[in-house]
Structure 1
Amino acid sequence: MAEMFTHRSRPMTLATPRRHDLDALRVAAFLLLILYHLGMFYVPWGWHVKSDHLVPQLEPWMGAINPWRLTLLFVISGAATRFMAVRMPAPVLAAQRTQRLLIPLAFGILVVVAPQSWAEVVEKNGYAGSFLDFWPRYLGFDQSFGIILPTYNHLWFVAYLWLYTMLAIATRPLWERLDWLAARILKGPGLLLVPPALFGLYLATAGRTWGETHVVWADAYGHLQYGSAFLLGLLLARMDAAWGLFQRLRTGLALTAVVLLATGLALKDVETGGGPGAIGFAFLREGYAWTTICALFGYARRYIRSGSPILSTLTEAVFPFYIIHQTTIVVAGHLLKRLELSLTVEAVTILALTIGSCWATYAIARAVPMLRLPLGLKPLPRPSANQPAAVG
């Protein structure tokens, strides 16, 4: 058993193969996010717009994925950044990531997210104007509606990812030293125990005091949680033995996650009760989250060894999907309410419209070169100087 908790960190080679397992997990996490945001239209929790058909029974299911879904994405993003850093110098990486993240963010704020804010002020403030009436006020920083305008809503993830990427690149001379430290702290049991202890400490202190705001300049807890997750991914990218450990322990990790989840559901009232019980629950929650993430890494590493045309397409398409999906859910949900549809018909219709808008956005981005970057795709490669010009 001791051998299972012994590993050494060694550098990846320059010929690091494509991590199809992480590609698949990233795609799955973003597709899960689409369903999660559809669920936000129906659970009693506060959101931009709400259905007339609230479904409290969804809360435990959404609560079960809440602790790990975003942390998983930031860990994967940190690892992806490390892999990219192997292939390009720091200035090139900074320019490339700025282009790929800030252009879609700016376009999203100015165009994509605006209809969400319109639907929200219609429902919450009784605003009677059309979207075309509202849009100039949105772009003009009109704060009379009681919400921040303009805003990024679900695109906060992109803003945080850019910030962490720039900080990582700025501290690149420290990476080797951090690798040395991580190889000792995240060794054996430390790999499974240190991250949830750290995340639990964040939740028990900053999380209980300030909560999570998604406001980039005022989100101490969010930056502690997600910044640490990004850094963790940056370090794990070069720890080959860690991924092997995840793979070997995947079944035990999955069973442990189920036990921790069941315990958390049974003790749910403790979380809101305050005192030592709430602090203990914070560590239980983060233990469940990290164990789940480790199990997912293990299963993906074991069963996803190669790519496929479907995975390649989804890997490219998932960012355009992410950019458009919440606007479709919010606007479609808002407009369909007036039809007084049944819960099932309404939910299926919104889901169908969301899937259609995702694929349509991806198709438009591929077909219109000037929209590739704003909608989340890489720009087309520039023709080589030796390449003959196209004819006809």
Structure 2
Amino acid sequence: MASSDARRHDLDALRVGAFLLLILYHLGMFYVPWGWHVKSAHIIPELEPLMGLLNPWRLSLLFVISGAATRFMMEKVSPGPLARQRSQRLLVPLLFGMLVVVAPQSWAEVVEKNGYAGGFLDFWPRYLSFDQSFGIILPTYNHLWFVAYLWLYTMAALAAAPLLGLADRWAGRFLTGPGLFVLPALAFGLFRATAGRAWGETHIIWADGYAHLQYGASFIIGLLLARQDRAWDLLQRVRARTALAAAAFAATGIALALLWNVENLPGWPGAAFAFLREAYAWAVMCALFGYARRYIRRGSPLLTTLNEAVFPFYIVHQTAIVLAGHLLTPRGLPAAAEAAAILAATVASCVGTYALARAVPALRLPLGLKPLPRAPRTAPAAAE
């Protein structure tokens, strides 16, 4: 067990990096052949392998980090007050995001897919009135599903707080040696080979069994590893070997996918590929944890600022990408110029949203920042 209360700057940096990577990933979704809310006229199949390398671990990494962060919070705040704090910090942005931030995404989607001719101000009241005639669920949370799932897992962890002592003993026994590399990979592989192949991901919180297995387990792993110093030290020592393992798994998976499309085959070949995919994903996460722990020991003003800013960035980034893409596509720009313009608009929107949240106290919570601390009450001066 760890005894230090020092802030984990390595996890802060990985959290920032994962969220910034998510912005680039969603920009990529505008160009790959896969379905998305809006699409560019420039479809680039060559992006698929790169996106496929990110897909297996990018969100699981965030849930592991979130689980660890939740554990650190649980050691400082009792379950009742922490449940209120986390509900405020997660549900207020989620509700505001659904009602305001995400709505323009749905408008752009129904314009492109359904031929809707009305403007956003005509669409918004229909969006808010649960109008289902467009063939999509309205209102919706789109990319903010992560926030809803994180709140759910946090509440479950707080409810199970009395069991943490037993869970810590289990983690100290099984997740501080070879089991650290084998057990999570096997669990994720089993989830992928069974529920993942049968159900896929829906991002509908009440009908997303595979995602809850995958991301709920990721959250629990973070919760258990948070105070296991032996596990973190091991990850640091073997970081190069886990990186090599990840590269080997990736090369094997790419070869099998390109030569035989194994991932989509029924029966044991597809199931075996699922285990290979998740072994690659866990090896990547282990390598990232190891390298971050080795090289990111100290904080910095930039890291502090970005660590605060990434939640507002996350809330607004996809709306910025969808709207910029929707508005720029008819202009017929070359793909590189179009992508650069969308990225610039997205960065400006993210920075502007963060600045707005800091400048307007009433918008801090809805846009993802902590509320300002209340000024301490002062006793009235005695009469002279």
Please report the TM-score for the alignment, with normalisation by the length of structure 2: 0.97
Q: Which runs of at least 4 in structure 1 moved beyond 3 Å after TM superposition?
A: none
Matched with 1:95 is 84
Counterparts in 2 of 1:299-378, with a 5 A limit? 299-378=291-370
Select which of 122, 133, 142 maps to 1:133.
122
Query: Does the CA contact (< 8 Å) of 2:72 and 2:226 recur in 1?
Result: yes
In structure 2, C-alpha distance between the alignment counterparts of 1:286 and 1:143, rounded to whole Å = 36
Q: Please give the secondary structure, in 1, of the residue aligned with 2:338.
A: helix
In structure 2, what is the equivalent of residue 291 of structure 1?
Answer: 283
Quick one: distance in 1 between partners of 2:174 and 2:140? 39
C-alpha distance in structure 2 between counterparts of 1:190 and 1:333, whole Å: 45
**Percentage of pairs with the same residue:** 69
User: Over the residues paired in the alignment, what is the CA RMSD in angstroms?
Assistant: 1.2
Alpha-carbon distance, 1:187 to partner: 3.3
Does the 8 A contact of 2:264 with 2:270 survive in 1? yes
**Residue from 222, 231, 252 that aligns with 2:211:** 222
The aligned runs of 1:189-208 (5 Å cut-off) are: 189-208=178-197
| Match of residue 37 from structure 2 | 48
Q: CA deviation at 1:220?
A: 0.2
Letter in 1 for 2:231: A
* Residue identity matched to 1:281: F
Residue-by-residue CA offset, 1:371-390 (whole Å, 9 max, x unaligned) = 000000000000112499xx
Larger mean Cα displacement after TM superposition, 179-188 or 263-272: 179-188
Per-residue Cα deviation, 1:269-312 (whole angstroms, up to 9, x for no partner): 11112221111001000000000000000000000000001000
Give, in whole Å, the separation in 2 of the partners of 1:38 and 1:187.
38
CA deviations 1:40-68 (Å, max 9, x no partner) are: 00000000000000000000000001000
What secondary structure, in the 3-state scheme, does the structure 1 residue paired with 2:138 have?
Answer: coil
1:155-201 deviation digits (Å, cap 9, x = unpaired): 00000000000000011001111111122222311000000100000
The DSSP-based 3-state class of the residue aligned with 1:384 is coil
Cα distance in 2 between the residues matched to 1:59 and 1:92: 44
1:4 is aligned to none
Check conservation: 2:176, 2:230, Cα contact below 8 A. no
1:23 aligned onto 2:12:
yes
Q: How does 1:176-187 map to 2 (within 5 A)?
A: 176-187=165-176
SS where residue 267 of structure 1 aligns? Answer: helix
Q: Bigger CA drift: 15-24 or 98-107?
A: 15-24
Q: SS at 2:220's partner residue? A: helix
* Residues 1:116 and 2:108 are matched in the alignment: no
Would you say the 8 A contact 2:176–2:234 is kept in 1? no
Q: In 1, distance between residues paired with 2:57 and 2:96?
A: 28
3-state SS of the aligned residue for 2:75? helix
Runs of at least 5 residues in structure 2 that lack an aligned partner in the other structure: none
Matched, 1:170 2:162: no
* 1: CA distance, partners of 2:14 / 2:171: 23
Aligned length: 378
Distance in 2, Cα, partners of 1:187 & 1:204: 26
1:109-133 Cα distance to aligned partner (Å, 9 max, x none): 0000000000000000000000000
How far apart, CA to CA, are the structure 1 residues paired with 2:129 and 2:326?
24
Partner of 1:211: 200
Contact 2:110 2:134 in 1 (8 A): yes
Q: Which residue of 2 aligns with 1:70?
A: 59
* Equivalent-residue separation in structure 1 for 2:242 and 2:187 (angstroms): 19
The one-letter code matched in structure 1 to 2:317 is H
Rounded Cα–Cα distance in structure 2 between residues aligned with 1:115 and 1:189: 48
2:145 to 148, 151, 156: 156
> Per the alignment, do residues 387 and 278 of structure 1 end up closer, same or farther by CA in structure 2, a change over 3 Å counting?
farther
**Which residue of 2 is the match for residue 274 of structure 1?**
266
Distance in 1, Cα, partners of 2:232 & 2:174: 16
Q: Does residue 1:146 correspond to 2:138, yes or no?
A: no
Give the letter aligned to residue 195 of structure 2. A
Please tell me the residue identity of whatever aligns with 1:239: Q
- Work out whether 1:242 is the aligned partner of 2:231: yes
Question: For 2:275, what is the secondary structure of its paired residue?
Answer: helix
Deviation digits for residues 1-57 of structure 1 (CA, Å, limit 9, x no counterpart): xxxxxxxxx2x34x5110000000000000000000000000000000000000000
Amino acid at match of 1:82: R
Q: Which residue of 2 aligns with 1:7?
A: none
How far apart in 2 are the matches of 1:387 and 1:287?
A: 61
Quote the Cα distance in structure 2 between the aligned partners of 1:368 and 1:91: 29
- CA distance in structure 1 between the partners assigned to 2:171 and 2:125 by the alignment: 50
TM-score norm. by structure 1 comes to: 0.95
Q: Does 1:264 align with 2:253?
A: yes
| Matching residue's letter, 1:67 | P
What is residue 58 of structure 1 aligned with on the other side?
47
Deviation string 1:226-254 (CA, Å, 9 cap, x unpaired) is 00000000000010110000000000110
The whole-number CA distance in structure 1 between the counterparts of 2:32 and 2:218 is 28
